[in-house]
């Protein structure tokens, strides 16, 4: 059965330490892709997501401009961030590890997302949605995102660890009925 990502009820967000004392949170406003969810055999599920890197939004236009620059995402040269799954490792209690390759600023590295299936529900309009939460932590320097500034009090302006949190709702799409020959 085909599924469609419900972008109105899905989000890719991240957080990073700022000046060692607080967290800055952001989202990517434009993204999409294909999730081939296999309900009968979830280990056969595949995920292929493309994010418009320039759609980064941390609620500060000056900071967002810096994040789009060659110091970080370099969106002119690398307009897309991608994730392509390589393996699903089923766990217990509706959990799995989703292995895949994450490409940021032209650098691809393997990552593992901890995924939790939130269940499914039928909407008042007759559609059926399936919900998933996923998270991982990456070191941005592994992708060549090394810009930073030393603080007078010690430490760094921008933390190395990036927490990535994803909420995704997939809607079952009715397959067209086959016409008898």
pLDDT in tens, 115-131: 999 999 999 999 999 99
CB distance 113 to 91 below 8 Å: no
pLDDT score, position 178: 55
Q: Which two three-digit tokens encode residue 94?
A: 């509706």
Average pLDDT of every residue of the chain: 94
pLDDT score, position 76: 98
**pTM score, whole prediction:** 0.91
Q: Which of the two residues, 121 and 177, has the higher pLDDT score?
A: 121
Backbone phi, psi, residue 16, to 5°? -150, 145
Q: How far is CA 54 from the centre of its chain?
A: 15
Domains of the chain (ranges; CATH) run 3-172 (2.40.128.110)
- Alpha helices (runs of H) in 77-144, residue ranges in sequence order: none
Q: Which of 31, 18, 50, 43 is nearest to 151 (CA)?
A: 18
Task: Give 34's pLDDT tier (boundaries 50, 70, 90).
Answer: very high
pLDDT score, position 93: 86
Res 64 pLDDT > 60: yes
């Amino acid at each position: 059965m085909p599924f469609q990502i419900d972008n109105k009820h899905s989000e890719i967000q991240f957080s990073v330490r700022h000046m060692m004392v607080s967290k800055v949170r952001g989202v990517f406003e434009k993204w999409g892709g294909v999730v081939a969810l296999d309900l009968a055999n979830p280990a056969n599920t595949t995920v292929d997501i493309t994010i418009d890197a320039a759609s980064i939004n941390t609620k500060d236009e000056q900071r967002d401009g810096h994040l789009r620059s060659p110091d970080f995402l370099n969106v002119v040269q690398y307009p897309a961030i991608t994730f392509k799954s390589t393996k699903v490792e089923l766990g217990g209690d509706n959990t799995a590890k989703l292995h895949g390759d994450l490409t940021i600023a032209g650098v691809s590295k393997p990552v593992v997302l901890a995924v939790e299936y939130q269940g499914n529900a039928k909407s008042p309009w007759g559609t059926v949605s399936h919900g998933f939460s996923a998270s991982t932590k990456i070191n941005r320097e592994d992708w060549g995102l090394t810009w930073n500034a030393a603080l007078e009090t010690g430490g760094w302006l921008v933390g190395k660890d990036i927490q990535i949190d994803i909420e995704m709702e997939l809607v079952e799409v009715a397959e067209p009925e086959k016409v008898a020959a």
